[in-house]
């Protein structure tokens, strides 16, 4: 990996810039150097209060390392998606859910993140108590300037949009809806561990996002029955006064030919970041996925992080205004399997997010 070093001058004047013995000095050069040095010392003497001189002279040079954007490996991301799906549906309180949580936490540790598994009992729309686990991987936890990346890792207990009503209560694989966002973030975590980053980065896998009240149940509309893990974390973050410059949520980011429209909450919460993400995608050649047109207002994990913690968040989520559910034909059906996952989509999203976060100073 090529690393460029940039130096920021912090107020020290280096005498070798003025009197450099290795440079061939002509009479004219001596004269120019003399005038230059006299001028600089005069200006310095006139402008700086006397007491400050020592502290300025002893300030060390600050080094800023520009790290080139790593290359997103979609093969690796695909394997992280497959690995989750192989546990079976990651429905809260199930055995597969427990095993997958351990796997994700251990992998993040292996990449060098400091991991916290935040456990919480949250109550679902049907009064089931869910033993939720938010899995939090922190890179450079000591840094104050931070970026937050997140996705939900649970999968839906009901295939309530399946073509066969007999499947309405069957859990889904959630290859795209759940595992794809986590798979991309696992690959990004691996790359951050390998390459480093100038800022702190938190990667959070939220639980109990997809236990929301099914539409076919004749109960009043309950948007807050979704996103239970992120609602809990946003009101009880793992660190007091937690803040990040911004957050990026990945949801349903693995399906073949997925379209990502500008999600409307994101445009309201984080207009600059939303535009930057879509522009970056276009510059990288991914505008067939990242459509420069408005989508819907989608209740998702980013809404609560924004509302409670005031962190501007963007949701990259598959949204097709022309499909029946707006979310692609596999959504909340038994068809959301590995057959649905395309490495080209993983690459488009993964490389775009990497480019955006490695552009941060
Ligand atoms: C609602 O359907 C209210 N929100 C979509 C959030 C979601 C479900 N993302 C994945 N599955
Ligand atoms: Zn879902």
Q: CB under 6 Å to ligand 1: residues?
A: 177, 210, 212, 223, 226, 251-252, 298-300
Burial of residue 54 (CB within 10 Å: 0-12, 13-18, 19+) is exposed
Name the phi and psi angles at 352, rounded to 5.
-65, -45
Which pair of structure tokens corresponds to residue 103?
Answer: 């796997």
Q: Please state, as a whole number, how many other Cβ atoms lie within 10 Å of the Cβ of residue 212.
A: 21
Q: Looking at residue 61, what is its pLDDT?
A: 54
CA of 209 to the centre of ligand 2 (A): 8
Task: Report the alpha-carbon distance of residue 9 to residue 182 in Å, rounded.
Answer: 41
CB 341 within 8 A of CB 254: yes
Task: Report the alpha-carbon distance of residue 134 to residue 238 in Å, rounded.
Answer: 10
Q: How many CA atoms, within 13 angstroms, populate the side-chain half-sphere of residue 23?
A: 12
Q: Looking at residue 9, what is its pLDDT?
A: 27
Q: Looking at residue 63, what is its pLDDT?
A: 60
Q: Looking at residue 60, what is its pLDDT?
A: 53
Residues in the chain: 361
CA of 215 to the centre of ligand 1 (A): 11
For residue 332, give the ligand 1 atom closest to its CA.
11
Q: Output the residue whose Cα is nearest ligand 1's atom 8.
A: 210
CA of 210 to the centre of ligand 1 (A): 7
Q: Which CATH superfamily is domain 3-14+71-358 in?
A: Zn peptidases (3.40.630.10)
Least distant ligand from the CA of 304: 1
* pLDDT tens string 165-222: 999 999 999 999 999 999 999 999 999 999 999 999 999 999 999 999 998 888 888 9
Q: Output the residue whose Cα is nearest ligand 1's atom 3.
A: 299
Domain residue spans of the chain: 3-14+71-358
Q: Which of 76, 94, 214 is nearest to 153 (CA)?
A: 94
Q: Output the residue whose Cα is nearest ligand 1's atom 4.
A: 299
Q: Output the residue whose Cα is nearest ligand 1's atom 10.
A: 177
CB 152 within 8 A of CB 251: yes
Q: What is the mean pLDDT of each run of 10 residues along the chain (361 residues)?
A: 30 30 41 42 36 41 77 98 98 98 98 98 98 98 98 98 97 98 99 98 99 91 96 98 98 98 98 98 98 97 98 97 91 98 98 98 91
CA of 84 to the centre of ligand 1 (A): 19
According to DSSP, the β-strands at 200-206 and 3-8 are unpaired
């Amino acid at each position: 990996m090529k690393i460029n070093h940039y130096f920021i001058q912090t107020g020290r004047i280096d005498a070798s810039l003025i009197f450099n013995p290795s440079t061939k000095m002509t009479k004219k050069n001596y004269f120019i150097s003399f005038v230059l040095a006299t001028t600089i010392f005069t200006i310095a003497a006139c402008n700086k209060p006397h007491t400050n001189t020592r502290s300025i002279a002893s300030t060390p040079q600050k080094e800023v390392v520009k790290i080139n954007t790593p290359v997103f490996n979609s093969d690796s991301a695909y394997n992280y998606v497959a690995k989750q799906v192989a546990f079976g549906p990651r429905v809260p309180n199930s055995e597969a859910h427990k095993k997958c949580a351990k796997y994700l936490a251990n992998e993040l540790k292996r990449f060098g993140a400091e991991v916290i598994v935040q456990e919480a009992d949250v109550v679902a729309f049907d009064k089931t108590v869910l033993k939720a686990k938010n899995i939090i991987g922190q890179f450079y936890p000591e840094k104050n300037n931070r970026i937050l990346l997140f996705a939900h890792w649970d999968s839906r207990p009901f295939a309530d949009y399946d073509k066969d009503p007999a499947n309405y209560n069957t859990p889904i694989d959630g290859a795209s809806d759940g595992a794809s966002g986590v798979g991309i973030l696992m690959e990004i975590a691996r790359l951050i561990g390998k390459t480093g980053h100038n800022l702190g980065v938190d990667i959070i896998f939220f639980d109990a996002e997809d236990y929301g009240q099914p539409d076919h149940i004749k109960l009043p509309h309950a948007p807050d029955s979704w996103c239970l893990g992120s609602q809990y974390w946003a009101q009880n973050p793992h660190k007091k006064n937690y803040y990040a410059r911004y957050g990026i949520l990945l949801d349903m980011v693995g399906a073949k030919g997925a379209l990502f429209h500008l999600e409307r909450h994101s445009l309201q919460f984080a207009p600059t970041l939303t535009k930057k993400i879509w522009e970056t995608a276009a510059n990288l050649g991914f505008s067939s996925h990242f459509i420069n047109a408005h989508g819907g207002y989608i209740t998702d994990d980013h809404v609560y992080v924004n509302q409670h913690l005031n962190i501007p968040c963007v949701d990259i989520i598959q949204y097709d205004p022309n499909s029946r559910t707006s979310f692609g034909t596999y959504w909340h059906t038994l068809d959301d399997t590995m057959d649905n996952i395309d490495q080209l989509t993983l690459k488009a999203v993964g490389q775009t997010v990497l480019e955006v976060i490695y552009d941060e100073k």
